[in-house]
Amino acid sequence: MKREPIRALIVALACAIVANGADAAATVSAEARQTAHAAIERGLNWLTELQHERGSWSNRKLPALTALPMMAFARSDHPEKDRVLARASAFLLKNVHDDGGIYYKSAISITGGLQTYNTAICMTGLHLLNDPKLAAVVLNARTFLAATQRLDGSDRNGGFGYNRKGFMSRPDLNNTTYALEAMRLTQDLEDLRAGGEMTVDIDWGAALKFLQRLQVDPAAASADAGGFNYTFAEPKAGTHTNAQDEIVFNAYGSMTYSGLLAMIYAQLPRSDPRVRSAVEWAARHWSLEENPGMGSSGLFFFYNVLGKALNAYGVDELPIDDDTRINWREALIRKVAAEQIVDESGTTGHWVNRESKRFLEGDPILVTSYSLLALLFALGK
């Protein structure tokens, strides 16, 4: 595989941006669209049956696990959509605190509430409802979330962790991407702040520098060039020794797509070498049989963030080598739909990671949410 011709193809593809979701769906065959819609309907039917009376799904102490399926319903045309979303949003609102955060608060919580993680995902889910009555909640959540950004001049400056301070506050790429997504997607609400009230935003420059520290040097003579890691301190995909005899962390699939997505939210242009190199990494390591570098660990989160990142990047094909381009939308639809566990009735179905329970992927609610969102992103939703 020759790197320079592929780089030229990446640049050319970056110029062929899809105009909107309808155009994206048009690049998917009628058969694949039908497959996706059928799997989505079964999955949403299954979630409808599993929603608790209080409006939550899964672990009520992690409201993000309610916000994620809520996002799938919000992007869908499911007949129970309005009823399901009303119950889910009512549950999330019960987790809103005076500080603006949206999280489960308990004096005996060993996780500290995962305040940043839950707030970022929940405020994004609520914003998707396009309900003016929720604007104040989301604006307060923006204020809370912005205050959780690490701005201390350390090598973690600019990033976000699971919590604002204390336990699990160490910034990482996953939480940083969720935070950047939440802040970018809700920024339009700042115009609704009361007169005289200061607008709220994060330090995007610091966030971008944090991202850059987690990316393997795009100019490195390495197959990992352009890929991303989770943190500076935790080699989730192992390590290797580089040409300078230094031990470096291996980049891997889900974090590389997360890094790409975060750079898009930071408004780096597609022509930026950091963006191009992340897409090149994705092309060189293309696989839907595993989370590249991690095997089955985090596989469905990988499908989710791959779909979200490439949909946001705005191309329908990736050049796998000099002679092969893959329609990632079709490929993702076929793979994710094939992994659905269809119930006997044939009208409901769910997903779960049957090989690895790591990263909570033994929870069928979470994995079903990831899968539905992956299919919706593949359709350009």
Q: Which of 23-37, 56-70, 153-167, 194-208 has the lowest mean pLDDT?
A: 23-37
- State the DSSP code for 161: -
**How many domains would you assign to the chain?**
1
Q: How big is the CA angle at 28 (ends 127 and 178), to the nearest 5 degrees?
A: 30
Range of 177's domain? 3-378
CATH number of residue 327's parent domain: 1.50.10.20
**CA 225 remoteness from chain centre:** 22
pLDDT per residue as tens digits for the range 355-364: 999 999 999 9
Count CA within 13 A, CB hemisphere, residue 219. 1
pLDDT at site 114: 94
CA-based nearest residue to 306, from 42, 350, 315, 339: 315
Q: What is the pLDDT of residues 98-156, one digit of tens each?
A: 999 999 987 556 567 899 999 999 999 999 999 999 999 999 999 999 999 999 999 89
Which residue carries 């939308």 as its tokens? Answer: 329
- In 210-270, DSSP assigns E strands to 239-241, 247-249
Interstrand relation of 349-350 and 317-321 (parallel, antiparallel or unpaired): unpaired
Residues with Cβ within 8 Å of 108's Cβ and at least 6 positions away in sequence, in order, are none
